[in-house]
Chains A and B, each alone.
Chain A
Amino acid sequence: MTLTTRKFDALIVGAGGAGLRAALQLSNGDARVAVVSKVFPTRSHTVAAQGGVNAALANVLPDSWHWHMFDTVKGSDYLGDQDAIEYMCRAAPKVVYELEHFGVPFSRLEEGNIYQRAFGGQSQHFGKEQAARTCAAADRTGHAILHSLYQQNLRARTHFFDEYFAIDLIKDDSGHVLGVIAFDILSGEPIVIEAKTTLIATGGAGQIFRTNTNALSNTGDGMAMALRAGVPLEDMEFVQFHPTGIAGRGMLITEGARGEGGFLINDQGERFMERYAPNAKDLASRDVVSRAIAIEVRDGRGCGRNKDHALLDLRHLGADTIMKKLPGIREVSMTFLGVDPIEEPIPVFPTCHYSMGGIPTNRDGQVVVPMKDTPEDPVPGLYAAGEAACVSVHGANRLGGNSLLDILVFGRAAANHILDFLNDNRHHRPLHQDSVDQALARLARWDRKGEGEAVEPLRRELRKVMEDHCGVFRTAEVMQEGVTRLHKLRERIDNAVIRDHSRTFNTARVEAMELENLMDCAMATIVSALGREESRGAHSRMDFTDRDDGRWLRHSLYSLQDDAMDYKPVRTQPVTVESFPPKERVY
């Protein structure tokens, strides 16, 4: 078979904020750049980010990048790498001003400066007064950023492979990454895209959980590609959950509903938060409320036909209050559940929102792996940025407003490093046919006909296993059972088949390959979570309830080979300032 081959200086896999920011920097730097995306670029999940971008502009209240750094280190529960955090917080104002020049319509103060709102976890003077650090374009910041970056990329003549699915990285025997094998979803035809450098920016893997806030496209494709290329994933056990997602659907019901007086009930109609948090009750912190819901369900007091959720009751607030103060929540509940909260309580369950872990990188965006002598040797030609990567600026817990910042700062930083790399590496390396053949075999595997399980039920089961065994209720026993179930599921996925073997826009094939990627990311998450015997940030163990800096102030590394775990030190030394040593995290 003759394969179409295209060659570029730089290839970006993924067209969200990180990918498009990197692509723009590269195109403006006169590199020949291609972006591969399985969805049209402006449909990428960045579009859903509402909050904003943190930067110490001091437009509303006094601020400094150093205070921003302190908040981020503390928020990370001291697992964030302090050199990368310093770099990010210092770069933030410049990145925001660049966005403004690209056309992002930030909300304004009366005198014309960029408006900044206060978010949780932001402080002045290293943990004292509240700061106001988040720059936003109304409640559509992600949308504004994504569209502006896409248009700038069109102007800069970035080449887009829209609706192409990346199968695997191409790698030679010396470990250099040479591009990817992808296929055109429209025609089903595979293509070799050779590149001197490849950047993975495919976003998170929230779809490994049944209830999550992520777009259906967030299936961890880039993370799984990295795993298959021998790169371990870092800190995958750290997953942010929000306590009240619409059960089985995932969309958030904001804290505002409980702030207005809404409360949670179990199948007995009991206000169970009174038992878990007698004072704060339904307004206890997110992790406490999330765990309480999960325990109620585990103990058989869940609601509904499958007893798999709690109920958020707003009825006592009355129709007037609900319609005036919580119209958005009512609208979402009615649309997606057919439940009017004036008449009935809303089914809720903790919803997965964000993956702190991912492909390990340094602050130049280079993918780094443990080698013989060092824990962080760059993989030549391979970069990662955004939620797919773990640089690690979020550590064990991400602060609101820092995820858009992460994708912009490190998309840009990776591109700058790539430009330097291209100066020193002017020629393509020879294509490695074995690696190409392996990727094509992965694609051809789904052409197999005959008996076998279908993809969708397996995907449903995987997501349920993760929700039941690696959600907010984590013990060794619960997770070990989850690992056993995932091992069995992995074998069943190996024997699954699809019924539709047509070429043109065969979404069954895409979903099958996504399932394989989900499987790898799910295993990485649960094995990493089982390994970490402490509670830190978003990783909360019922059997190891305290943070244990002596044993666990280190990053986890999960490898696909034998599902093995390894660990590496946290980079506690910043670039120019003194380190923030671990302290108890109190707000």
Chain B
Amino acid sequence: MLENDLLLRAFLEHGYDVLDQEGRDAFERLLGYPDNLLLDLVLGRQQTVDAGIARLVPLIRAAAAARAGD
């Protein structure tokens, strides 16, 4: 799904490197989600009870926004 490709690629370029181990574990859990749910979480259409993933969401959105000016 194009949206997820762009969001996750932006995050890998502008964000993933500074995550601590807990953050990286949360990212791996996020990658286990089905495409539509993953997109809904990142776009804020759904919330998650997983606190680690919830902390990641604004970082992923910020990375996408940082690429917006490319």
Contact = CB atoms under 8 A, between A and B. Distances in A.
Interface stretch (A225-233, A255-263, A335-343): A335-343
A586 B45 CA distance: 40
A563 B44 CA distance: 48
A336 B36 CA distance: 17
Contacts of B36: 47, 140, 143
B14 to A, nearest CB: 13
A335 B1 contact: no
B53 to A, nearest CB: 17
A43 B2 contact: no
Interface in B16-70: 34-36, 42-45, 61, 64-65, 68-70
Contact of B3 (A140, A143, A251): A251
A147 interface: yes
A249 B10 CA distance: 12
B68 A214 contact: no
Contacts of B68: 336-339
Nearest to B7: A335
B43 to A, nearest CB: 6
A250 interface: yes
A43 B43 contact: no
A331 to B, nearest CB: 6
A216 B5 contact: yes
B59 to A, nearest CB: 13
Nearest to A144: B36
Interface in A204-225: 212-217
> Chain B: interface secondary structure?
helix
Contacts of A217: 5
Contact of A250 (B2, B44, B70): B2
B1 A45 contact: yes
B6 to A, nearest CB: 6
Nearest to B42: A335
Contact of B5 (A215, A248, A332, A335): A215
Contact of A47 (B35, B44, B65): B35
A337 B65 CA distance: 6
Given A335-B65, A338-B69, A251 B35 contact: no
A373 B42 CA distance: 57
Interface residues of B, number: 20
Given A45-B1, A331-B43, A336 B6 contact: yes
Given A335-B65, A336-B64, A336-B68, A42 B5 contact: no
Contacts of B65: 335, 338
Contacts of B70: 248
A422 interface: no
Nearest to A250: B2
A48 interface: yes
A338 B65 CA distance: 5
B43 A215 contact: no
Contacts of A249: 2, 6
Contacts of B35: 42-43, 47-48, 143
A215 B2 contact: yes
A119 to B, nearest CB: 21
A147 B34 CA distance: 9
Given A42-B35, A143-B35, A335 B2 contact: no
A249 B6 CA distance: 8
A362 B9 CA distance: 39
Nearest to A147: B34
B3 to A, nearest CB: 6
Contact of A48 (B2, B6, B61): B2
Given A331-B43, A336-B68, A338-B65, A214 B34 contact: no
B34 A335 contact: no
Contacts of A213: 2
Nearest to A213: B2
Nearest to A333: B68
B61 A335 contact: yes
A45 B4 CA distance: 11
Nearest to A351: B2
B2 A214 contact: yes
B11 to A, nearest CB: 12
Contacts of B42: 335
B1 A47 contact: yes
Contacts of A335: 7, 42-43, 61, 64-65
B64 to A, nearest CB: 6
Contacts of B64: 335-336
Nearest to B37: A143
Nearest to B3: A251
A96 B42 CA distance: 32
A155 to B, nearest CB: 18
A82 to B, nearest CB: 34
Contacts of A332: 3, 43
A308 to B, nearest CB: 13
A338 B61 CA distance: 10
B67 to A, nearest CB: 8
A140 B64 CA distance: 24
Contacts of B7: 335
A48 B2 CA distance: 8
B2 A143 contact: no
A215 B1 contact: yes
B66 to A, nearest CB: 9
Interface of A: 42-43, 45, 47-48, 140, 143, 147, 212-217, 248-251, 331-332, 335-339
Interface of B: 1-3, 5-7, 9, 34-36, 42-45, 61, 64-65, 68-70
13 contacts: A43-B35, A47-B1, A47-B35, A47-B36, A48-B1, A143-B36, A147-B34, A214-B2, A215-B1, A217-B5, A251-B2, A335-B64, A338-B68
Closest CB pairs A-B (n = 8): A338-B68, A216-B5, A48-B1, A338-B65, A47-B35, A337-B68, A143-B36, A215-B2
